[in-house]
Amino acid sequence: MPLWDSEDGDDEADEEITLELSKVIFWPHSRMVTNKIIGARYYNSFGDYTSNEPSPRDFKGHGTHTASTAVGRSVSHASLYGLAKGTARGAVPSARLAVYKVCWAFGCTDQDIMAAFDDAISDGVDIISLSIGGSNSLDYFQDSIAIGSFHAMANGILTSAAAGNNGPKHGTVCNVAPWMVSTAASSIDRHIIDKVVTGDHISTLVTKPMYPSAGQDQLSYGAGQLNPAKAVDPGLVYDAGASDYVQMLCDSGYNETMIRIVTGDSSSCSSSTSTGTARDLNYPSMALHVQSGKAFAAKFLRTVTNVGSARRGKYKAEVRADRRLNVVVNPSKLRFSELNEKRQFTVSVSGGPLTGNSTAPATVIWSDGKHLVRSVMVVYTDFSS
């Protein structure tokens, strides 16, 4: 159902942020004034309107769905067939929405995606959200979303993109550029108590999943669900900017032409003296690909910045690792005397051999008694198709 035909919700928005959603396909109806949607554009470089009229309007419902997830206003008395009654709302109900439609019946072209990025950046949005995902990842210089999101990052705009439409097979994640947020489907252990009456009139209460013996997948070993209240006071952050990402591209073997396609400027590796690897990008997570059947050892260099509520702080590292891994943090304690102070540390991992089609997870947690700054690591081998 297109947004303007709905009788639920609220079209008002507070003046907090402007959120741009690509492939969000609305157009305000002429009979109503909306303060939620502040503008809409559409892009179709092929000029093919055989299935849809030339309009940013939502004809499929996908844009309405993704937009309401991101910025939908609160709707009271929501439930799932009477269960879990409460209030439904989007992530940021107070946000305004600018729309840039780039997808049609024939798909989404690179030139339309990048044109929408350019306009969104020029319009000064705060967040760009794309519910668009391909079947696999591409080299960054061949990926319009990676290129567009790099330009957005350079202008202080966060891009959140879909992690893909395939899965759960290995290697099916797309939109993997480190300068964007890749958003994947997840779930919460939210058990609902309800009355069950069997055919013999015996009543029971179901309070847990019907198949509790199902084992946990080690690939689900991640950072967990975000706690919004704690996210605004993280304690320590792993900071990275455009120059760090260019260095990562250099360490990944990208040449000058490839890098400049991504950055759109004169960036190069000529002035670089780094002898590091791409895994030295100052990223919160750590990943190491190893050969099956062989022992391995590697190091990750990281820098954290103190943004905690207290100027002074002392953090101690805790390691939780798979029994097949030996993980050491050096130094294991970090002291800060002022805000925005930086400290460097190294995470060393060794072990093996690992068999094919396997992963081994670990976690490094920095704690000062109040903040828990968690970084995940995964060591993995090749996976057969």
Could you read off the pLDDT of 310-344 as tens digits, one per residue? 777 899 999 999 999 999 999 999 999 999 999 99
> How many other β-carbons are positioned within 10 Å of the β-carbon of residue 56?
20
For residue 200, tell me if it sits in a domain.
Answer: no
Q: Are residues 243 and 373 in the same domain?
A: yes
Distance (Å, whole) CA 28 – CA 199: 52
pLDDT at 282 over 90: yes
Q: Which of 71, 101, 132 is the last residue of a domain?
A: 132
Please compute the mean of the pLDDT values over residues 67-79 and round it to a whole number: 90
Q: Which of 86, 110, 132 is the last residue of a domain?
A: 132
- Cβ-based neighbours of 81, under 8 Å, separated by 6 or more: none
Distance (Å, whole) CA 269 – CA 251: 9
Q: Which of 90, 115, 132 is the last residue of a domain?
A: 132
What DSSP string describes 13-76? --SS-EEEEET------TT---SSEEEEEE--TT---SSS-SSS--SSSHHHHHHHHHHPPPEE
Question: What integer best gives the mean pLDDT of the chain?
Answer: 81
Instruction: Look up the domain containing 370 and give its range.
Output: 234-380
Q: Cα angle vertex 108, ends 185, 255, to 5°?
A: 85
Between residues 77 and 83, which one has the greater pLDDT?
A: 77
Distance (Å, whole) CA 374 – CA 363: 7
For residue 183, tell me if it sits in a domain.
Answer: no
For residue 313, tell me if it sits in a domain.
Answer: yes
What DSSP string describes 280-333? GS--SSEEEE--TTS-EEEEEEEEEEE-SSSSSEEEEEEEEE-TTEEEEEESSE
Banded pLDDT at 350 (limits 50, 70, 90):
very high
pLDDT at 359 over 60: yes
Give the model's pLDDT for residue 200.
57
| Structural domain count, the chain | 2
Please compute the mean of the pLDDT values over residues 102-112 and round it to a whole number: 89
Q: Are residues 246 and 371 in the same domain?
A: yes
Strand 18-22 relative to strand 96-101, pairing: parallel
For residue 288, tell me if it sits in a domain.
Answer: yes
Please compute the mean of the pLDDT values over residues 295-307 and round it to a whole number: 95
For residue 108, tell me if it sits in a domain.
Answer: yes
Q: What is the pLDDT of residues 191-203, one digit of tens each?
A: 666 666 655 555 4
Q: Are residues 114 and 241 in the same domain?
A: no
